[in-house]
Amino acid sequence: MNKKIRKAVLPVAGFGTRVLPATKSLPKEMLPVFDRPAVHWVVEEALEAGIEHFVFVTGRNKSSISDYFDRAFELEETLARAGKIKQLEMLQNMLPVAGSKSFVRQQSPLGLGHAVWCARDIIGDEPFAVLLPDVLVQAQKSCLHQMVEAYEKVGGNIIAVDQVPMDQVSSYGVIAHGERNGNIMPITDMVEKPKQENAPSNLKITGRYILQPEIFKCLETQERGAGGEIQLTDAMHQLMKMQKFSAIEFDGEDFDCGSREGYTEAFLAYALKDEDLGGNIRTIVERLLK
């Protein structure tokens, strides 16, 4: 029987240089996507998938993230005195359960693999999820929920993938895979930013992973790779020699909020989906387009 996926790692230590100057003093994970920060949408996705404990791997000047997921007593008291009960309840209900969050510091910017490794003592000997907070996935059933269901069927390590046009594969990490079983397939290789003529598929790796704890042993001895950083992909290549990796082509649409274009697209997509204001926002967009 597969161990339950209880914990998730959210690497939030990056600088967000692709969306400067907005991120000069504000963490990229705290950039608002419609009416809440990007990281809020990612936490909601994980909660829907049954995640019980969040490990935020932070860096300097990221205290606003921990503040956001904490009580704001002065604000709550002001709302209560003003009779703004709806807003007060919203703030109180959005908080994860007390004790379900841990914050660890990545003291040097040594890459995604190093950030994941920094969470090793809190994760322990359990399989866990990794969610990149600058990637948002809009889906009827959350992307991580779909991955957990796939994990319960096939076990091992799971990576979320989706299709991109072949002329764009050189911008992504893509997988080579074996025979499909529905939307799940065994991964035989992962290739980072291949030329179109050399790409093994057009299935790009999205920022969602379910990994076995043995990945930490690989990361512990992993040499620096591309960009002089410890790459998670390199450690996964090591682990593939010992354990099964599967991909799930998830149902949904992903947005790269680490780029200005992707951030703008995400903002509009989430705004247009809002139950209360989506119709009004669509009217505004159509008027501006004229």
205-248 confidence digits (pLDDT tens): 999 999 999 999 999 887 776 666 788 888 998 999 999 999 99
Has residue 1 been placed in a domain?
no
Has residue 267 been placed in a domain?
yes
Indicate the SS3 state at residue 194. coil
Q: Are 257 and 135 in contact (CB under 8 A)?
A: yes
Which domain does 152 fall in, by range? 7-289
pLDDT value at residue 226: 67
Strand partners, 248: 160, 184
Q: Does 91 or 174 have the greater pLDDT score?
A: 174
- Length of the chain in residues, anyone? 290
- Mean pLDDT, rounded, of the chain: 89
Region 7-16: mean pLDDT is 85
Using CA atoms, how far residue 290 sits from 104, 283, 284, 287, in Å, is: 48, 11, 10, 5
Tally of CB atoms within 10 A around 289: 6
| pLDDT over threshold 90, residue 142 | yes
> What residues contact 135, with CB distance under 8 A and at least 6 apart?
206, 207, 208, 254, 255, 256, 257, 258
Region 154-182: mean pLDDT is 90
Tokens found for residue 189: 């290789």
**Residues 82-103: tens digit of each pLDDT:** 888 888 888 888 777 878 899 9
Indicate the SS3 state at residue 229. coil
Q: Are 57 and 102 in contact (CB under 8 A)?
A: no
Q: Are 44 and 30 in contact (CB under 8 A)?
A: no
Region 243-256: mean pLDDT is 94
HSE, side-chain direction, 13 A CA sphere, residue 231: 14
Number of domains in the chain: 1
DSSP 127: -
The backbone torsions φ and ψ at residue 273, rounded to the nearest 5 degrees and listed phi first, read -85, -10
| pLDDT over threshold 70, residue 128 | yes
* Spacing of C-alpha 123 from chain mean position: 17
Single-letter code of the amino acid located at 246: S
Has residue 2 been placed in a domain?
no
List the CATH number of the domain containing 222: 3.90.550.10
Helix (H) or strand (E) holding 57: strand 53-58
Region 52-63: mean pLDDT is 87
Question: How would you classify residue 89: left for phi > 0, otherwise alpha for psi between -120 and 50, otherwise beta?
Answer: alpha
Has residue 38 been placed in a domain?
yes
| pLDDT over threshold 90, residue 44 | yes
| pLDDT over threshold 80, residue 108 | no
